């Protein structure tokens, strides 16, 4: 089940839009949203364009397209194909609606009006049983549009954090040694 969606500019992690979550969802996902912010800060131009990161009972799926990162927090059992179909649909609509304005905007959540589209689209993807009951042709169409799932890399949140920490400590050692010369 889709829980929350965040859209940020890849170059500086400026939040562009986010789904409006109820208070209970906000409290439940607080830690995972913090992890999402960490992921946004660590994304580089060489980062995988599609990735799934497991974090407790949830999986953070992200898609990078045209300088924008689209991230959805979903239940761990939620199918990856549906998660990336959802992100693909968001990216196409966002690019059509706001693509030219993304690099010039300076204020966070400048495209808050995109929440309406995110909400409607999330409801279509909310429950896999509902999606299948609503007509498998729609889901089949979305799945056909999805690129090969093998390109989606799965990472463990601890691995992602460890790699960043080890790079930070290596840099600190290098700097200390360089200063002592």
In this prediction, residue 158 carries a pLDDT of 64
Residue 149 DSSP one-character state:
G
**Would you say residue 181 lies in a domain?**
no
Q: Is 174 a domain residue? A: no
pLDDT tens over the chain, length 181 residues:
888 899 999 989 899 999 887 777 767 787 778 888 888 888 876 788 999 988 889 999 999 999 999 999 999 999 999 999 999 999 999 999 998 899 999 999 999 999 999 999 988 887 655 555 444 556 665 555 554 444 555 566 666 666 666 666 666 777 777 777 6
Residue 81 lies in a domain: yes
On the CB side of 57, how many CA atoms lie within 13 Å of its CA?
6
- In CATH, what number is assigned to the domain containing residue 34? 3.30.450.50
pLDDT at 134: 46
Domains: count for the chain? 1
| pTM of the predicted structure, to 2 decimals | 0.71
Range of the domain at 128: 2-155
Q: Using CA atoms, how far apart are residues 28 and 118, in angstroms rounded to an integer?
A: 20
Element counts in the chain: helices (H) and strands (E): 7, 6
CB environment 88-121: b (16+ within 10 A), e (fewer)? bbbbeebeeebeeebeeeeeeebbeebbeebeeb
SS (H, E, C) 37-66: HHHHHHCCCCCCCEEEEEECCEEEEEEEEC
Mean of per-residue pLDDT scores for the chain: 80
Residue 47 belongs to some domain of the structure:
yes
For position 106, what pLDDT does the model report?
A: 94
């Amino acid at each position: 089940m889709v829980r929350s969606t965040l859209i940020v500019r890849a170059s500086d992690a400026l939040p562009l839009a986010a789904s409006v979550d109820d208070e209970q969802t906000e409290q439940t996902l607080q830690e995972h949203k913090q992890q999402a912010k960490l992921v946004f800060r660590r994304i580089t131009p060489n980062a995988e364009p599609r990735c799934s990161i497991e974090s407790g009972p949830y999986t953070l799926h992200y898609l990078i397209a045209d300088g924008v990162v689209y991230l959805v927090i979903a239940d761990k059992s939620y199918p990856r194909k549906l998660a990336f179909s959802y992100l693909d649909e968001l990216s196409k609509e966002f690019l059509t609606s706001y693509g030219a304005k993304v690099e010039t905007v300076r204020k966070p959540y400048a495209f808050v009006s995109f929440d309406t589209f995110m909400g409607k689209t999330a409801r279509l993807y909310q429950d896999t049983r509902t999606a299948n009951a609503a007509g498998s042709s729609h889901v089949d169409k979305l799945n056909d549009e999805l690129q090969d799932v093998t390109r989606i890399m799965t990472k463990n949140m601890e691995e992602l954090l460890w790699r960043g920490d080890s790079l930070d400590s290596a840099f600190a050692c290098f700097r200390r040694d360089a200063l002592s010369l």
